[in-house]
Amino acid sequence: MAPMRRDGSGIIRETFCFRQIPMHFPLLRPLACTLAMISAVPALSDELHADPFAQDLPVVLTGSRLAQSPLDAPAPVTIIDREMISASGFTEIHDLMRLVPGFLVADWPNGSPTVANHGLGDAFDRRIKVLVDGRAVNDPLWGNTLWQDLPVRVDDIDRIEVVRGPHGAAYGANAFQGVINIITRHPATESGTTVISRLGRDGFHDHGVRINGGAGSAIDWRLTASRRGARNFESITNDEGDVFSQESIRRTVVNLQASTQLTARDELRLQLGIVDGVDDRGYPMTSDEAAEWPIRDEDVRTHYLHGAWTRSFAADSELTVQFYHQAHRRRVAWVIEDGGRSIPTDLDTDTARNEFEVQYSGRMAPRWHFLVGGGVRQDSVRSRRYFDRGRALRATYWQGFGSLTWQASDALSVNLGGTFEDHAYSGKLFSPRMAINWALSPLSALRMSAGKSYRAPSLMESHARETIRYEDTIVRRLYNSLQKVDPEEVVHLELGYVARIPQYGLSLDARVFQDRYDGYLDDEVCRYRPPPRSNCSDLGFATPPGFSTDPLSTSTYYFLNLGRATVRGAEFTLDWKRPGWGRAILTQSFTRVHAGSQLEEENVDRSAPRSATSLLLIKDLPHRWRASLGYYHTQPVHWLNDGGEMGNQDRVDLKIARAFGPRGSDNEVALTAQSLGGRYPDFDAEKFRHEPRIFLSVRATW
């Protein structure tokens, strides 16, 4: 039975739920209909207040909902807005980081894509904290972000706020090289049903549906579902005849967001979602690596539940209480054939995170604004392979944070902030920061900030016992936390200048910076058996009990605080916009990494390109056509660990779109080409070539 809705006149009428949901997603129908019934709950305040001067309206655009102006921010922030997201043609979230000065993006077939800021990047981007609507999504195992498993799609995003440097004072430990804060669209800002379909060469597809309900009623909600698949890497063979790995992925994502204004002051928001998919990756049989890493299916599933209650006292004063639970599961098993032995192995992993956080902001005097909060987080990881145990490994973290902003004069503001964290492994860490903003004019400001941030070791770095067993013996021990390691530290200092020149439609954000890292944490190799060099026993690491006399390999990787590095650089973003013509966003970064003597051999000093440029050019054309071109250039860079040397890279993307339907809607048909130059080297030029992509897309709302 179709649910019924009571409108303001008391007339009961039928809602859309069945007839508007496309046939491709039949399972969504009962859910959408249930939501339609729930949202038909009468509004709390159906009549305007009797007192004409006392209309009750919720405080909607609060300080936490508004993007902080770069003129006022205590840290360098880049905002990727919806126009940029749409014009870029990117369909994967990590690719959007190419639009941020200093950020590097890579993908490789053996794992998740990776993002780095000003060097030190490798296969596990654990030095950048990623949040989705305030939910930390970094994986508890490695601390990296599983970009393709995020339960959010580019179509869900309202904007991304990227802090382009360490900011542990506001975001806690592990906001070490930057913070990527993904903010999704509020369900109240969409209406109707939207279908999105992208179809390209080599099996690329990305289809989705978005069903919005409750516009103007007590509950705003949105139900989205999408299914995508792509072949990212074909196996290549180098001049020496080495054959490298390949990868293709498939994902299904379902999300529900609901929000209700309980009173004029109180908003309740609930989000839940699930991602299900398969990675098909590995080395072809012709590769020497195929025995240990054959082509295999890795089943992945992520789910989350996130609730938040916000009480707004004023535009700059609110209390937020939030809780979320998220979990990720990977299932992959295969058999290593080795000299007549069939050795079963797997990479089965279950991770989970629960976090509770309270935050309060307010103004204690006209020129003094503060924010305080605290929370507790519990991470757990269960993996027999990585930890050589069946039970889950659990870690609990407590943190308290606060910041105080003093508007000393109309021109000068001083911000002091800090986070104190009691980390399960690293103990007590305090990340302080001070920023001074000096307004040269109402539309230009200088910023000076300095502080210290930490990156606590991930559970992998602190507890790994990666083990492959055959019968009762250990035939391989790979990652192995043989000794206590310290958190990485960075002392950061920057001087920034931000200006807006509205008469020319121009914005400028520039800065120079220095980040001094200490305790750089990396893996080293030693061997349990001869050859004599790098012998584990020389380092005091005993051969594990039960180690096979005929192991797959005698080498093991242990973690070590290797040393210091200093990164200095300059970067700017120039954003020019002219209504009717279009927009151009140019970013440029210059980076120098000075590795300490212990790190020179690790290629750390080549881990950032000396120069990197991005240009996103958006041109409005007649008859609602629009063309956008993305150009991304990086000078040579060396991705660390599993990565390798990359030469000069130039990538050009092009999108031609035509809008249709009502103005203001996102309806469009488009042709997008990613990497017009064809396959491009990625992560390690010797080994990996990312597939280019060309696809047609349609987006329609009714």
Partner 1 sequence: MVGLAPRLRHLVCALALTVAASPLAALDIAIVASQSKGSSRVVADAVLQASSKHMLVHGGNADGALETEHIRRAGLVIALGEAAALAVAADDDAPPMLVALVSRADFERLRGHEPTRPMTGLFIDHPVERHLRLIRAVMPEAECTGLVLGPQSRSFESEFGPAADAAGLAIEHSFAASAGDVVPALERHLARCAAALTLPDSVVSHPHVARAALLTSYRMQRPLFGYSRAWVEAGALAALFSTPATATRDVLDWIDAFEPTEQLPEPAYAYHFELAVNTRVARALGLQVPDEDTLRAAVTAGRQP
* Among 128-136, 189-197, 532-540, 556-564, the segment contacting partner 1 (CB under 8 A): 189-197
* Among 50-58, 470-478, 487-495, 678-686, the segment contacting partner 1 (CB under 8 A): 50-58
Contact assessment for residue 620 and residue 581, using Cβ atoms and an 8 Å cutoff: yes
Cα angle value 148/154/155 (rounded, 5°) = 135
By the rule CB under 8 A, 55 interacts with partner 1: yes
By the rule CB under 8 A, 156 interacts with partner 1: no
Binding mask 192-231 for partner 1 (x = CB under 8 A): x----------------------xxxx-x-----------
3-state secondary structure of 221: strand
Q: Which of 505, 457, 509 is nearest to 483 (CA)?
A: 457
Contact assessment for residue 56 and residue 49, using Cβ atoms and an 8 Å cutoff: yes
Contact assessment for residue 671 and residue 696, using Cβ atoms and an 8 Å cutoff: yes
By the rule CB under 8 A, 56 interacts with partner 1: yes
Min separation Cβ 99 and partner 1, Å:
17
By the rule CB under 8 A, 545 interacts with partner 1: no
Min separation Cβ 665 and partner 1, Å:
6
By the rule CB under 8 A, 525 interacts with partner 1: no
Q: What totals of helices (H) and strands (E) does the chain contain, helices first? A: 5, 39
For residues 93 and 188, which CB has a smaller minimum distance to partner 1 in the complex? Answer: 188
By the rule CB under 8 A, 46 interacts with partner 1: yes
The whole-angstrom separation of Cα 378 and Cα 58 is: 34
Q: Provide the strand spans (E) within 424-472.
A: 427-441, 444-455, 465-470
Binding mask 632-671 for partner 1 (x = CB under 8 A): ------------------------------xxxx------
Min separation Cβ 443 and partner 1, Å:
6
By the rule CB under 8 A, 58 interacts with partner 1: yes
Contact assessment for residue 90 and residue 82, using Cβ atoms and an 8 Å cutoff: no
By the rule CB under 8 A, 257 interacts with partner 1: no
By the rule CB under 8 A, 61 interacts with partner 1: yes
Binding mask 485-504 for partner 1 (x = CB under 8 A): ---------------x-x--
By the rule CB under 8 A, 270 interacts with partner 1: no
Amino acid making up residue 240:
E
Per DSSP, helices labelled H in 316-383 are: none
The whole-angstrom separation of Cα 696 and Cα 679 is: 19
CA distances 531 to 77, 225, 435, 555, Å, are 50, 55, 53, 10
Min separation Cβ 38 and partner 1, Å:
14
Match 């159906």 to its residue by tokens. 46
Amino acid making up residue 134:
G
Cα angle value 27/28/34 (rounded, 5°) = 115
For residues 12 and 285, which CB has a smaller minimum distance to partner 1 in the complex? Answer: 12
The whole-angstrom separation of Cα 407 and Cα 437 is: 9
For residues 59 and 141, which CB has a smaller minimum distance to partner 1 in the complex? Answer: 59
By the rule CB under 8 A, 538 interacts with partner 1: no
* Residue ranges in contact with partner 1 by CB under 8 A: 7-8, 43-48, 50-61, 63, 65-69, 71-72, 81-82, 158, 185-186, 188-192, 215-218, 220, 261, 264, 314-316, 442-443, 500, 502, 507, 662-665
